[in-house]
């Protein structure tokens, strides 16, 4: 292996080793920036937002997901979908257990706050198609399984999200004595979100492997190119966290109790989804790396879509949008803890 590859691997190892520390530092820096320069950050954010898409955030997420998708051997993805047990478990956890669990938690903890309740339900309905690839990559998941399950989720998301939003937000809450709201979001708008946050990095990763392996060979691609681009994931992750926390730093400081109220059901949700999925898959005899991919996919949520829908339907300063923004702020540290747990479990699996 070349000296460059070894050097890049050492850099990635250093970032991996202290990732939890870097995450919390990034969160702290973001909050400080948001509190110190609130008007400047808000003006910059407005200038860099097109429709409901924040351009710097979109770039950060795309860069974050590109290395994991460049590592995927796309020729093996077809075999993933042949594993009926694993795919069925993933679909049940994502499209039955996840939405129902988040709905129940939202009603239980936020029933007296319809806006926050709706925002949390929107998070539960948006299955993860983006950042889960980062957790899967650094947490020992199977690359091909992770990519295939994310692709499957994206298709289900386009087809079912509008119906689920109508069912869980407009129809069911009034029947249970809670206030319902109308969420009007089209399949086209959801497809646009999927194409931005998943389609672009998917295409870039696929073309990178196809073109570079053909020109340079599999060994060069695996030993030099992948180690060179791998640190991009964690660097982009940290930059994205700074950005997210800076955009809402002032709000987090001014409304700490609302943050806590949203954080409680979200934390219960993330932890429950992960351990239930991990336990069931282990009992089914699913290998560790595939189990990790299923668990991460079941646990994570597409906060980009949830935030975009909340802003488009209820407005930027709505409690629904507030809850949507709090989602990734809670998900990131919780998933980091779960990644560390998974890596420790690997030797005992």
Question: Mean pLDDT over residues 302-308, rounded?
Answer: 77
Is 199 in contact with 191 (CB distance < 8 Å)? Answer: no
User: Taking the model in full, what pTM does it have?
Assistant: 0.77
Mean pLDDT computed over every residue of the chain: 84
Structure tokens at 19: 């990732």
Residue 52: its pLDDT value, please? 62
CB atoms within 10 A of CB 342: 24
Question: Mean pLDDT over residues 188-199, rounded?
Answer: 76
Q: Is pLDDT above 70 for 17? A: no
Beta strands (DSSP E) in the chain are 49-50, 53-54
Beta bridge partners of 205: none
% of the chain residues with pLDDT over 90:
32
Domains of the chain (ranges, CATH numbers): 54-245+256-344 (1.20.1530.20)
Structure tokens at 131: 């950042």
Tokens 């994991």 — which residue? 68
Q: Which of 191-195, 224-228, 318-322, 344-348 shows the highest mean pLDDT?
A: 224-228
Element (H, E) at 23: helix 19-36
Element (H, E) at 60: helix 55-71
Res. 232 pLDDT band, cuts 50 70 90: confident
pLDDT tens digit sequence for 129-151: 777 888 888 888 998 888 888 88
């Amino acid at each position: 292996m070349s000296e460059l590859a070894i050097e890049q691997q050492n850099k990635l190892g250093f970032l991996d080793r202290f990732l939890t520390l870097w995450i919390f530092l990034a969160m702290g820096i973001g909050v400080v920036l948001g509190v110190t320069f609130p008007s400047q950050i808000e003006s910059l954010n407005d200038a860099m937002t097109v429709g409901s898409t924040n351009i710097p955030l979109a770039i950060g997420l795309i860069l974050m997901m590109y290395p994991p998708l460049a590592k995927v051997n796309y020729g093996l993805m077809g075999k993933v979908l042949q594993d009926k047990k694993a795919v069925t478990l993933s679909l049940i956890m994502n499209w039955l257990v996840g939405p129902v669990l988040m709905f129940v938690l939202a009603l239980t903890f936020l029933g007296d706050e319809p806006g926050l309740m709706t925002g949390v339900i929107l998070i539960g309905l948006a299955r993860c198609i983006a950042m889960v690839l980062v957790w899967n990559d650094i947490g020992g998941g199977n690359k091909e399984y992770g990519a295939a399950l994310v692709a499957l989720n994206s298709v289900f998301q386009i087809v079912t999200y509008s119906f689920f939003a109508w069912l869980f937000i407009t129809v069911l809450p009034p029947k249970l004595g809670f206030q319902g709201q109308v969420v009007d979001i089209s399949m086209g708008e959801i497809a646009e979100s999927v194409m931005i946050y998943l389609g672009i990095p998917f295409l870039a990763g696929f073309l990178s492997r196809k073109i570079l392996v053909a020109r340079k060979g599999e060994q060069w691609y695996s030993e030099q190119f992948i180690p060179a681009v791998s640190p991009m994931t964690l660097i982009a992750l940290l930059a994205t966290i700074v950005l997210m926390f800076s955009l809402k730093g002032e709000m987090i400081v001014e409304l700490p109790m609302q943050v806590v109220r949203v954080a409680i059901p979200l934390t219960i949700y993330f932890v429950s989804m992960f351990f239930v999925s991990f336990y069931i898959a282990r009992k089914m005899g699913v290998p560790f790396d595939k189990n990790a991919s299923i668990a991460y996919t079941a646990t994570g949520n597409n906060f980009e879509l949830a935030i975009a829908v909340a802003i488009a339907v209820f407005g930027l300063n709505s409690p629904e949008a507030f809850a949507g923004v709090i989602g990734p702020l809670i998900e990131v540290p919780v998933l980091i803890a779960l990644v560390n747990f998974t890596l420790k479990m690997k030797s005992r699996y």
